[in-house]
Each structure stands twice: as C-alpha cells, then as structure tokens.
Amino acid sequence: MKLDVDVKKLLGAVDVPADWVGIREVYEAHTPRMIRDGVPVVNASSATHGIMVEVLVNGQFGYFGTPDMTPSGISKAARSAFKQAEIASKHAVFEFDQSARPAHKGTFTSPFIKDRNSLSAGNLNEILLEAYNHLKVSDKIVSASTLCQVIESNFKFVSSNGSDIHQDFLMFEFDLSATAADGSNQQTRTFGGMRGTCRQMGMEYFDKYEIYANATRIGEQAIELLDADDCPTGEMDLVIAPDQMMLQIHESIGHALEVDRILGDERNYAGWSFVKLEDFGTLKYGSDLMNITFDPTLESEYASYAYDDGGLKATKEHLIKDGVLVRGLGGQESQIRSGLEGVANFRASSWNRAPIDRMANINLEPGSLSFDQLIAEVEYGVYVESNKSWSIDDYRNKFQFGCEYGRLIENGKLTKTLKNPNYRGVSTPFWNSLKGVGNEETFGIYGTPNCGKGEPNQVIRVGHASPACLFDKIQVFGGV
C-alpha cells in the first residue's frame, strides 16, 4: 500500500531556522520472480517508502531519514537533523551555501508501452518456466535459472528555495543462467553477465519467443564450454563484447572520474583515484578513438533521469573526448568544492541515504567498424563476452576481469571456443591501446543494479552502453 504524501505540506511543517531545507520522498517496489531447476524459488514483492529531510546550518548539511511521513514526524526529523548539522558545522570539510542545491522544477517518466500489470504473476512464471526448459538442453546442465525483477520507483523533491521535481521510473532486471558440470569442471553461461541485462522500459521487453531462443543458445554454450580449450596465455589482441565493455567502462573509467573520490571522501572504503584535479583538460586517458559520455538521456538505458537527487538538471556531456579527459563525475557539491565542471550525478540509493557522486549512464560512443571488420584486424587474439569476475585496485589502476565465453581469433577469423578467458591491465595504458571501435550495429545497452560505494554503504543502478572494441597487446590468460 503506497501512502499518498503531500511533500509541499510536509515542507511547511519544518520549523527550524535552517538556511535551506529539502524534502526527498522515495517509494520503491521490487518484484522479483525466479525459477531454478524447474521450481519457483522466488515470487515476492516488497516496498520501501520514506523521506529524507535535509537542512543546511552554518554551511553544513545534516539529514534525517525517516519512515514517519506525518507533519509531526517530519518536524521532529528536521529538528534532529538541524542539531546534527549545527554540532558538525564547527568541524566541516567545506562551508556550503544554497547554491549547492540549485532550484529546478520538472518531471520525468520512464518510457514504456506496457505497464507492469500487463503481465500477471502467473504469466511471468509461465514464461520463466518455459525459458528454464529451453536452458536445460542436456543432462550435463546441473542447474539453470531464470529471473525477472520489476522495479517501480517514485521520487519527489521539494525545497525551501523552490525546487519541485517528480520522477517516476519503471525498470526491470532479467537473467537466464545455465551451469554445466562434469565433476569439478564447471562452466556457467548467462544472459549478459552478472545481471547485465537491466533496462528502463515496460513489459514489452518480454517477447517470449526471443527469450526462449536466447535460453537455448545459453544452454548450448554452457555445454560447449565444458569441453572447450582453456584460454591461451600471453600478450595478444583482445576484442571485447559490449556486455564486458560495460564493466570495463564502469571500473576503469566511471569510478576513477568520481570527483568525491578524487577529493578523498572514499579513501576509507571504495578508494581514491589515480586521476588528479589538475588532470582535467590535459590527461590523455585513451587513444583518439575513445569518446566517453555521461548520458542520462539515452532511452531505455537503466540510469536515465531528468534530475539528480540534489535537484540538478541532467544533460548529456562528454567526459573524455578524442581520448582527452575533459569533465569529471561531480555533482553540484563536488563542483563547488573542486572548481571543476561536472554533471548531474548526485544520487542516493534510497530515502535513508544521503546523495553522493555516482555514475549514471556512462557510455562509449560508437565508431565506424563492423564486427567483422574488428575481427578481421586481428592476426592472433581472443574475443570475450559476458563478465564473471572483476577486481580493481583502490586507485582504479590495476584491473583484472574474467569472462564467461571466449573465441580464438586466427588470421582475422573467429575459430574455436575458449573457456576461462581472463585479462588484466592498467587503466590508462589499456585505454591508450584501443585501436578499433565498433559501429552502431555492434552497440549494446547494459547496466548493473549492484554498484556499491559510500559510507554508509549505498548500492545503486547504473547503465553502460558500448560498441564492441579492439585492444592491442593485452595480457590474456586462462584458468588453473
């Protein structure tokens, strides 16, 4: 049951002498459904609903996240937030003013054709169960699962300086997974890596025939991997599919460009960054083929929106242009602290967490080569799809990724299937080795629901879209 809350009335209930007051209401309902090994393991729906009251006192923000959305509850929350801010203001990292929360009015609604009620719980279970049957192509598939999670989120933000924003989101996450095993030889194949298939759209996504075809392919590829050769070890060309480019962009560009990290806020948890404030405008991050954008406008991408959680209007901006670092991922607070230009990326995971600098949609713009042309460029190398392992250091330099599925490339042609393809590198040398960027036909839209950061910790949704890309002389290796 969703309570109807009048946030403007609640703003009027705040009775503390703060320099600025903001009220952010978040309602979010998650409805996951999962079939594993032929039986339902999850059919659930849960909702969170609450308000964050934020006040500015003597240059310091203080907050109170509360599920009590009555005028008296908000008044009490504001008084406690005021006291927190007042005490902390004597020791503040930075003295802010109202310009940290610019006033905007507007709305946003996710684009969709079929709303969430157009598919019943029964219909979705039938599709997921039949998809499971298509995954189970052999007795060697020891486990298979199908998953769909629908997410509805409503966001309202009003403030004492006139912000009035209302955004409604409809999203889903979808996965197909098959594990083939022969003793301790185990191989798993999924639909786009670790929950990589997540979009902002309606139930029109669920074309059951396309889903069943993909399920059959995934099951067959899991079996194929069992008997495949291990990935070779050595320095070689590497072609990366969009569902792995997603995480490559995320870890070695997105996090590195978060301005709050560069300012040191995250040093105790997520880490710092090799990027320094003085690098913007000068650092050659990658080759001339590299164009990275912050794009909250791409339709159906997972983290599209019109305003961030501080009320800043979101627009598409280049972060890296022709290989040169031009702009950071800093919201209004970070822009004021650093003096850098930024983007509208001040985001919170829910009503019970304060916004910080986050990724949203961070994309690699398409180039000119078809997939066949990318492969034709390679004399000897590896093509990889779908992430299964990821790790990078606290400065976002030394990364290592593992993928589900590989193909050997010999003399410009894809040849045999490879299992356990892994690669490692260091961020800027890696991106400077980018020597081929796929065209729009190779472009894939993915994302992740599980980007973790912040103290207290916050997990947030991000989107990443990319063409297939070719890299020169990368350290590639296989399994044990």
Partner 1 sequence: MEQIFNNLSESLFSDLKKGEEVILSFSGENSQFIRFNNGSVRQTGLVDDAEIELKFISNGRICGGGFTVSGNLDVDLKRGRQEILRMRQESSQIPIDPFLVLPTNSGSSHEVKKSDGLKFENSVDAILPAMAGVDFVGILANGKMFRGNANSVGQKHWFETDSYSLDYSLVTPDHQMVKGSFSGTDWDQKGYEEYVERSKRKLVLMERKPIQMKTGDYRTWFESAAVSDFLGMFSWNGISEASLRQGCSGFGKMRHNDTRLSPKFSIVEDFSPGFCPKFNSDGEVAPNSLALIENGMLKNTLVSSRSAKEYGLSSNYAESGEYLRSPKMSTGTLSHDDVVKTLDKGLFLSNIHYLNWSDNPGGRITGLTRYACFWVEGGEIVAPIETMRFDDSFYRFFGDQLVDVEDSQTVNPEVGTYGGRSLGATTCPGILVDSFSLTL
Q: Rule CB under 8 A: which of 163-182 touch partner 1?
A: 179-181
Interacting residue with partner 1 among 217, 284, 313, 398 (CB under 8 A): 398
What is the rounded distance in angstroms from the CA atom of residue 29 to the CA atom of residue 386?
28
Closest separation between CB of residue 145 and partner 1, Å?
8
Interacting residue with partner 1 among 11, 85, 239, 474 (CB under 8 A): 85
Going by DSSP bridges, is the β-strand pair 105-109/164-182 parallel, antiparallel, or unpaired? Answer: parallel
What is the rounded distance in angstroms from the CA atom of residue 60 to the CA atom of residue 1?
36
How many residues bind partner 1, per CB under 8 A? 91
Q: Is residue 402 within the footprint of partner 1 (CB under 8 A)?
A: yes
Interacting residue with partner 1 among 13, 19, 42, 154 (CB under 8 A): 42
Interacting residue with partner 1 among 6, 9, 15, 93 (CB under 8 A): 93
Q: Is residue 406 within the footprint of partner 1 (CB under 8 A)?
A: no
DSSP at 93: S
Closest to partner 1 by CB, 329 vs 374, is 329
Closest separation between CB of residue 86 and partner 1, Å?
10
Closest to partner 1 by CB, 107 vs 450, is 450
The label of the residue with tokens 């194929």 reads 224
What is the rounded distance in angstroms from the CA atom of residue 371 to the CA atom of residue 275?
32
Please compute Rg for the chain using Cα positions.
23
What is the rounded distance in angstroms from the CA atom of residue 256 to the CA atom of residue 396?
6
Question: Which among 109, 107, 113, 105 has a CA at the least distance from the CA of 168?
Answer: 109
* Residues in contact with partner 1, shown as a per-residue x/- string from 116 to 155 under the rule CB under 8 A: ----xxx--x---x------------xx------------
Closest separation between CB of residue 188 and partner 1, Å?
6
CB 268 within 8 A of CB 261: no
Closest separation between CB of residue 184 and partner 1, Å?
4
- Residue 358 vs residues 13, 20, 260, 298, 423: alpha-carbon distances, Å: 31, 23, 9, 17, 26
Closest to partner 1 by CB, 121 vs 213, is 121
CB 255 within 8 A of CB 248: no
Q: Is residue 190 within the footprint of partner 1 (CB under 8 A)?
A: no
Q: Is residue 417 within the footprint of partner 1 (CB under 8 A)?
A: no
Token couple for 34: 């999962």
Token couple for 409: 């490339």
> For partner 1, which stretch binds (CB under 8 A), given 156-164, 206-214, 262-270, 430-438?
262-270
Closest to partner 1 by CB, 56 vs 465, is 56
Closest separation between CB of residue 222 and partner 1, Å?
10
Interacting residue with partner 1 among 59, 71, 92, 435 (CB under 8 A): 92
Question: Which among 455, 459, 60 has a CA at the least distance from the CA of 265?
Answer: 455
Interacting residue with partner 1 among 4, 17, 411, 480 (CB under 8 A): 480
Token couple for 210: 């396309």
Closest to partner 1 by CB, 92 vs 298, is 92
Closest to partner 1 by CB, 336 vs 426, is 426
CB 372 within 8 A of CB 384: no
Q: Which helix (H) or strand (E) holds 470?
A: strand 469-477
> For partner 1, which stretch binds (CB under 8 A), given 9-17, 155-163, 395-403, 404-412?
395-403
What is the rounded distance in angstroms from the CA atom of residue 188 to the CA atom of residue 174?
16
**Which residues 443-462 are close enough to bind partner 1 by CB under 8 A?**
452, 455-459
Token couple for 237: 């060309």
**Which residues 213-232 are close enough to bind partner 1 by CB under 8 A?**
none
Q: Is the bond preceding residue 71 a cis peptide, omega within 30 degrees?
A: no
Q: Which helix (H) or strand (E) holds 37?
A: none
Total Cβ atoms within 10 A of residue 283: 17
Going by DSSP bridges, is the β-strand pair 229-230/413-419 parallel, antiparallel, or unpaired? Answer: parallel
Question: Which among 218, 108, 137 has a CA at the least distance from the CA of 174?
Answer: 218
Closest to partner 1 by CB, 59 vs 412, is 59
> For partner 1, which stretch binds (CB under 8 A), given 63-71, 209-217, 239-247, 275-283?
63-71
Closest to partner 1 by CB, 65 vs 438, is 65
Q: Is residue 389 within the footprint of partner 1 (CB under 8 A)?
A: yes
Q: Is residue 367 within the footprint of partner 1 (CB under 8 A)?
A: no
Q: Is residue 75 within the footprint of partner 1 (CB under 8 A)?
A: no
Q: Is residue 47 within the footprint of partner 1 (CB under 8 A)?
A: yes
Interacting residue with partner 1 among 110, 146, 167, 188 (CB under 8 A): 188
The label of the residue with tokens 């399994």 reads 479
